[in-house]
Structure 1
Amino acid sequence: MSAVSTIDAIYRLLLKRYLFGRDAEYAHRTMLRMLAAMPAFPAPRDKPELGVKLWGIDFPNPIGLAAGMDKDAVAVHGWETLGFGFAELGTITPRPQPGNEKPRIWRVPDRRALINRLGFPSEGMEAVAPRIEQIRKAGISIPLALNFGPNKDTPPEGIAGDYIALIERLGPLADFIVINVSSPNTPGLRNWESPEKMSELFAAVSEHTSESARARPVLLKISPDLERNDLFRICETALALNLEGIVACNTTVVREAVGVSSPHPGGLSGQPILIRTRELIRDIYTHTRGQIPIIGVGGIASAEDAWLDIRAGASLVELYTGLVYEGPGLIARIKSGLVDLLRRDGFRSISEAVGIDR
């Protein structure tokens, strides 16, 4: 039995029942501690047809860890061991902050969903930087994305400065950067999704960061709650700004429209936003004529879910909530299923299938 199969069996037979009987944030932290303490195992070798080359980066497979799971880069080698093709770490803020008051994560088991109102709890960039430096020295076989967000107490006129500080300090340590302007849990943050504010932000970043700091591909993470016309305006702005990609999407504040009834505030993730995510991916791909690579994230819990996002236009996909409900073996099952789906549909690689259903 492989290391991943053993971990998955332990989770399914013992840990899941225990953790689901506890507070969701306690369960999250417990799993992170366990992964951080786990001995480093060689990453599983992926089938060549799963490889993706994007922005000059070689991804061994298209399945990534979504931001939010490992905010402070404490379990990176664990994600490599589980078989992810890349990991998006964060959201990282410039200064340490505790986030919102607890409780702030809730499960919705009947819909295989989570609701969070974490509010970017972060140890801050100066705590995260040496961890990533050490990871780089020790060697890591998967690309690492860093997801950046502002501190909650930063005034609107200082928001661009927070992103500049993050890119200057951590940009050189990333394989690519994700600018998070779409979390619903930081007041006023989604205002920066507007084309005007986007242009203001990226003009400031371009002017005030060094060439080495901004040498990495920069992607924008967007909200699933955008109106279609607003989405298209964002796409056009992203093209004009020469952004390297879009991450679609963050959590939603919508409830009834996705069939969820809950009294808890915050962003909803998991199965209920799967279809909405796919619609966004298809709209972005079609409107930009495939000129902007897309990372699809939202509700993926099977190979078929990932495959349909890829066919809609996603070059890579990410998951988080599916891992909570399906266990650590999910990544291996998705990869195995993707190989079968590629062969079934007559494709030789993931890249050949991107956007085929547009």
Structure 2
Amino acid sequence: MLFSTVLKRMDPERAHHLAFTVIRALPLLGGLVRAVCKPHESLRVHALGMDFPSPFGLAAGFDKNAAGILGLGELGFGHVEVGTVTRHAQDGNPKPRMFRLVPDRGLINRMGFNNEGSAAAVPRIERARMKRTRPVIGANIGKSRVTDVADATGDYVWSAERLAPISDYLAVNVSSPNTPGLRGLQELELLEPLLAAVKRAAGETPLLVKIAPDMEDEQIDGIVALAVRLGLDGIIATNTTISREGLTAQAAEVAAMGAGGLSGAPLADRSLAVLERIRQTAPADFCVIAVGGVTSAADVLARLAAGATLVQGFTAFIYEGPLWARDINRGLRRAGWRQRS
């Protein structure tokens, strides 16, 4: 498609904003796009106490401000995880802060949770919830840059109190590499009081925690055990990686891009390994959302076979174009996939 080709040649962040403008307009087309992209009924999934139109959804990071939920649903995503949103509105890190690794089908970003704040997302989610054809809506919350790590719990709780009542599920992001000190919150002595407080604030809304891929197996096991003990509903595995191993791009080119989280195809093997590790100890009914390096229906099927309850993608949306979710859903149907009862 000409539009996709033009976007691929633009600065990545500018291309994202242009594509997002189009996505926000899709609901105005009277369901024409939905008629082409709607997942088949056979792909419905029951998870987190609700029905998802498809096991495949859009990861946090694309719709940072909950402004394109309905348009993304029109394109065939079974769920849309908005955010990451923070208590305080913030501009994020200086630009440029997003870089394509085209030969590797990857992306390096150091966006830094640029968003308009949790309060600004509330009326947008409320409006989207009123539509019968909406996707499942998750809200991903993080720590504001201006908030000290020692005060992080209050920051998360403030957002949870506002977003949990209007979201289908809530995700606690303690794993982005682009906010100073954030990943330190994955240490169990810091993570336990944080998750316990957010769990209380979330009430009956399903709560999940999103973890990094750059952890030893023992730390993953510890977080799984903690999440189960606290009564969380699931884990999202994984966020972006700080590793640069296995890239085919020139080392000097990668170094020039600077710090940031790597996503896309280079993350596929590690994210799958983390999923498999989680499934070794997590209860069978514990929700695990797999994300990282997912490009094709075959990738989604592999993660579902490895024990994922749901699967998310993001980076490949940039490379595959607007019909990506539709193509994955059609691939799942051709494969005859159905949720096991």
Rounded to whole Å, the distance in 2 between the matches of 1:17 and 1:52 is 34
Q: Counterpart of 1:266 in structure 2: which amino acid?
A: G
Cα displacement string for residues 221-246 of structure 1 (whole angstroms, at most 9, x for unaligned residues): 00011111111111111111111000
Query: Which of 232, 237, 248 matches 2:237?
Result: 248
Q: Cα–Cα, structure 1 residues 229 and 35, in superposed 2: closer, same or farther, change >3 Å?
A: same
Percent of paired sites with the same residue: 39
Query: Which of 288, 299, 312 matches 1:294?
Result: 288
Q: Does 1:70 align with 2:45?
A: no
Deviation, structure 1 residue 16: 2.3
Q: Does 1:110 align with 2:103?
A: yes
Aligned length: 331
Equivalence for 2:228: 239
The within-5 A match list for 1:148-227 is 148-206=141-199, 209=201, 213-227=202-216
Could you tell me whether the CA contact under 8 Å between 1:259 and 1:272 is conserved in 2? no
TM-score by length of 2: 0.93
Query: Which of 105, 111, 119 matches 2:112?
Result: 119
Equivalence for 1:146: 139
Deviation, structure 1 residue 192: 1.1
Query: Which of 312, 316, 327 matches 1:318?
Result: 312
SS, match of residue 138 in structure 2:
strand
Q: Cα–Cα, structure 1 residues 57 and 122, in superposed 2: closer, same or farther, change >3 Å?
A: same
Equivalence for 1:23: 11
Rounded to whole Å, the distance in 1 between the matches of 2:248 and 2:63 is 28
Q: Cα–Cα, structure 1 residues 317 and 18, in superposed 2: closer, same or farther, change >3 Å?
A: same
For structure 1, the residue ranges without an aligned partner over 5 or more in a row are: 1-11, 353-358
Q: Counterpart of 2:97 in structure 1: which amino acid?
A: R
Query: Which of 300, 304, 308 matches 1:306?
Result: 300
Q: Counterpart of 2:273 in structure 1: which amino acid?
A: E
**Cα RMSD after superposing both structures:** 1.6
Q: Does 1:351 align with 2:323?
A: no
SS, match of residue 256 in structure 1:
coil
Rounded to whole Å, the distance in 2 between the matches of 1:194 and 1:257 is 27
Q: Counterpart of 2:157 in structure 1: which amino acid?
A: I
Q: Cα–Cα, structure 1 residues 315 and 336, in superposed 2: closer, same or farther, change >3 Å?
A: same
Cα displacement string for residues 32-66 of structure 1 (whole angstroms, at most 9, x for unaligned residues): 11111232543344333211011221101111011
Equivalence for 2:52: 59
Deviation, structure 1 residue 215: 1.6
Could you tell me whether the CA contact under 8 Å between 1:91 and 1:149 is conserved in 2? yes
TM-score by length of 1: 0.89
Rounded to whole Å, the distance in 2 between the matches of 1:80 and 1:36 is 10
Could you tell me whether the CA contact under 8 Å between 2:65 and 2:83 is conserved in 1? yes
